[in-house]
Amino acid sequence: AQPGAPAPVAAPMRELDWGQINFLHTTDTHGWLGGHLQEAQYSADWGDYISFTEHMRRKADEKGVDLLVIDTGDRVEGNGLYDSSDPKGKYTYDIFREQSIDALCTGNHELYLADTVAREHSITVPNFKKNYIASNLDYIEPETGNQIPQAQRYTKFKTKNQGYNVVALGFIFDFDRNANNSVVQLVEDTLKEEWFQKAIREKPDLFLVIGHVGLRMKEFEQIFKVIRDENWYTPIAFFGGHAHVRDTRKFDDQAFAIASGRYFETIGWMSIDGIKKKNKGDVSAEASVSFKRRYIDNNLLGLYHHSGLNETTFPTEHGRNVTKMIAKARNALDLDYTYGCAPQDLWVNRAEYPSNTSIFTWLEKEVIPQSIVREERANQSRMAILNTGAIRFDIFAGAFTKDSTFLISPFTSKFNYIPDVPFAVASKVLQLLNSGGPVFSSSLDAKYLTIPEQFVPGFSPSERSVTEEPLVRILESESQKPLSGEQEPDLVGGYTTKDDLGEDGDDAIHSPIKFYQVPNCVESRIAFPEEGDPETVDLIFIDYVQPWIIPALKFSGGDYSNDDVEVYVDRTLTDVIEAWVKENWSENC
Ligand SMILES: Nc1ccn([C@@H]2O[C@H](COP(=O)(O)O)[C@@H](O)[C@H]2O)c(=O)n1
């Protein structure tokens, strides 16, 4: 863990079930390679994960089974360690590559900006040359304009100890907001490609499908159907992500998918037993395969527990060096530099919106009205719209650092506007954005305005749970009691996941709490007349929302196009929040 990270307290634990093939999985780490410095439950860093993996690989060798390490993308955007350097990722690409990863793919965050796409192609792909898979993603070479696969379309390999033949595929969901030096092929079309049809006829012992794909999205289902039609009994292991939740989905008795949360809070564990090795010429034969899963809270006590080691025996030399690399990078970037002192916790979805503890209420009532102004139009009534997905993380009471600004909002989106929109038209926009529906084309689903945890309708994050109190404070104030005798233990708050395999997936047994739905967008009304409505307003919006604003305006009776849009404030939300905190929370903690 990083210097200054809070120490975790032991919780009652569920063990890892080992099988013939075992997997460790990360996804949506978004640059959190230093771990969580304000939450003890997730405070282990990438160096600790490297130590853990080395121990688990040794254990696998001792047992004569296999262990594969997977990452399913969105490694960038969301943490000062990645976002605050120039160029972005100056340190994180080198830190990330220290882990030995058997299969990895691209997420949508590696594709939003042309620079990020190019860095992925020139740094991460060669760093993991043999193991990077891009089944439906191409890169446009700047020198030639040629469209080439971002990486190999699929891999074939034999596992080290059990000698299983594996065919591995690596997808990104049908993403269409990618920069124009990348091309995402629809999954449905990729499945018809000749190479794919060949891959699914390789008759391996196991198909490994990794993807930056939410488990409840259509893409994994499409892939499952096509592989299964050709291979009636071959086990298929899916590793997904994107929705930022812990989840396991059963496709059939021999095909399961796991998603391992977000922000390096979770290390996913999947194990498979009962795989039948095919002899040459064998057709697929029915087998009784069992899949197990565990969501490991990423903290040192848990990692000691699962590796059977302790503070002294756990850190490997390699792991220790990577922990030092991270600390050095954090220092070089001055990430602990304090801009101010947050007087209270402000939650993304652990508090109701609107409320005094909602981060969106704070932005809507304080930050936006006080910060989003264009001098020459300061007296013009204005409405400013922010999508809730623009906010990625909570604010904890206490020191608000340079790092905090990027944890909350890493994006480079700025503020645009359309001047002098009739109020009668502008006032209908927010409601349309929040209700979604047929106003927007299918590729413009309004759910992509909100936080990823709400992407799946009816899949309430309240089932996914976290503590009402920041974990650090709970851990400081309460000692843990063992799970024995009559006494109910005082459980640490944390994830209490329900998935297709039941309610026993999390390694640490936690007390659950409530999550709340947040709207797709929030709106501030600024410089409005004291009485009555203005005739016209400047309609301001963060630029990510623009593709939804234009159809919403059209539906409301305003015939606007992208040509009517101008820059309102040439600053990112990150810049805006930083300036506001310096001005308003300037006292020392
Ligand atoms: N410039 C951006 C980019 C993304 N968002 C929000 O993030 C969501 C995607 O998050 P994942 O980590 O799951 O990829 C997206 O749907 C937006 O809500 C944004 O606000 N601005």
454-510 pLDDT, tens digit per residue, is 987 655 443 433 333 333 323 332 333 333 444 456 888 899 999 999 999 999 999
From the CA of 17, how far away is ligand 1's center (Å)? 35
From the CA of 576, how far away is ligand 1's center (Å)? 18
386, 573 in Cβ contact below 8 A? yes
Question: Which residue puts its alpha carbon closest to atom 18 of ligand 1?
Answer: 389
Question: Which residue puts its alpha carbon closest to atom 19 of ligand 1?
Answer: 390
| Ligand 1 atom nearest to 28, measured from its CA | 12
N-term to C-term CA, the chain: 23
Q: What number is the average pLDDT over the span 82-100?
A: 98
Q: What number is the average pLDDT over the span 364-374?
A: 98
Provide the token pair at 286: 């029915």
pLDDT tens per residue across span 266-279? 999 999 999 999 87
* Predicted local confidence at residue 9, as pLDDT: 86
Q: Which residue has the tokens 């995402």?
A: 184
Is the beta carbon of 418 within 6 A of some atom in ligand 1?
no
Is the beta carbon of 387 within 6 A of some atom in ligand 1?
yes
From the CA of 390, how far away is ligand 1's center (Å)? 6
Helix (H, G, I), strand (E, B) or coil at 391: coil
Question: How far is residue 416 from each of residues 392, 419, 565, measured CA to CA in Å?
Answer: 21, 10, 7
Looking at residue 392, the DSSP 8-state letter turns out to be: -
* Predicted local confidence at residue 477, as pLDDT: 29
- The residues, any chain, with a CB within 8 Å of residue 302's CB and separated by 6 or more, are 8, 13, 44, 296, 507, 508
Lowest mean pLDDT among 43-57, 450-464, 514-528: 450-464
From the CA of 109, how far away is ligand 1's center (Å)? 8
Q: Tell how far CA 365 is from the center of its chain.
A: 28
Looking at residue 349, the DSSP 8-state letter turns out to be: S
Picking from 71, 78, 587, 109, the residue whose alpha carbon sits closest to that of residue 339 is: 587
Alpha-carbon dihedral sign for residues 245, 247, 251, 257: positive
Question: Which residue puts its alpha carbon closest to atom 9 of ligand 1?
Answer: 452
Is the beta carbon of 172 within 6 A of some atom in ligand 1?
no
**Per-residue pLDDT band at 283 (split at 50, 70, 90):** low
Is the beta carbon of 2 within 6 A of some atom in ligand 1?
no
Provide the token pair at 156: 């074939």
Whether residue 446 has pLDDT greater than 50:
yes
- For Cα atoms 227, 233, 234, give the angle at the middle one, nearest 5 degrees: 60
Amino acid identity at 374? R
- The residues, any chain, with a CB within 8 Å of residue 193's CB and separated by 6 or more, are 153
* Predicted local confidence at residue 587, as pLDDT: 83
Amino acid identity at 475? L
Is the beta carbon of 544 within 6 A of some atom in ligand 1?
yes
Is the beta carbon of 109 within 6 A of some atom in ligand 1?
yes
From the CA of 543, how far away is ligand 1's center (Å)? 12
d(CA 224, CA 395): 40
d(CA 520, CA 350): 16
Q: Which residue has the tokens 């634990």?
A: 13
Q: What number is the average pLDDT over the span 256-264?
A: 98
Read off the pTM.
0.94
HSE-up of 556 (CA within 13 Å, CB side)?
21
Is the beta carbon of 449 within 6 A of some atom in ligand 1?
yes
- For Cα atoms 448, 453, 457, give the angle at the middle one, nearest 5 degrees: 70
Amino acid identity at 524? S
Question: Which residue puts its alpha carbon closest to atom 16 of ligand 1?
Answer: 448
* Predicted local confidence at residue 468, as pLDDT: 33
What average pLDDT does the structure give for the chain? 93
Looking at residue 395, the DSSP 8-state letter turns out to be: B
Q: Tell how far CA 154 is from the center of its chain.
A: 24
Looking at residue 500, the DSSP 8-state letter turns out to be: T
Picking from 75, 57, 76, 74, the residue whose alpha carbon sits closest to that of residue 66 is: 57
d(CA 324, CA 117): 28
Question: How far is residue 398 from each of residues 54, 161, 187, 226, 341, measured CA to CA in Å?
Answer: 36, 50, 45, 52, 5
User: Which residue segments constitute the domains of the chain, with CATH numbers given?
Assistant: 21-332 (3.60.21.10), 338-457+516-584 (3.90.780.10)
Share of the chain above pLDDT 70, in %: 93
Residue 242 zone, left/alpha/beta (φ > 0; ψ -120 to 50; rest): left
d(CA 496, CA 494): 6
* Predicted local confidence at residue 284, as pLDDT: 60
Higher pLDDT, 459 or 541: 541
* Predicted local confidence at residue 441, as pLDDT: 84
From the CA of 105, how far away is ligand 1's center (Å)? 18
- The residues, any chain, with a CB within 8 Å of residue 279's CB and separated by 6 or more, are none
Q: What number is the average pLDDT over the span 2-20?
A: 95
From the CA of 119, how far away is ligand 1's center (Å)? 20
State whether ipTM is beyond 0.90: yes
Is the beta carbon of 208 within 6 A of some atom in ligand 1?
no
271, 256 in Cβ contact below 8 A? no
Picking from 125, 171, 134, the residue whose alpha carbon sits closest to that of residue 152 is: 134
Is the beta carbon of 413 within 6 A of some atom in ligand 1?
yes
pLDDT tens per residue across span 184-195? 999 999 999 999
Provide the token pair at 401: 């650092």
d(CA 42, CA 493): 12
Whether residue 240 has pLDDT greater than 70:
yes
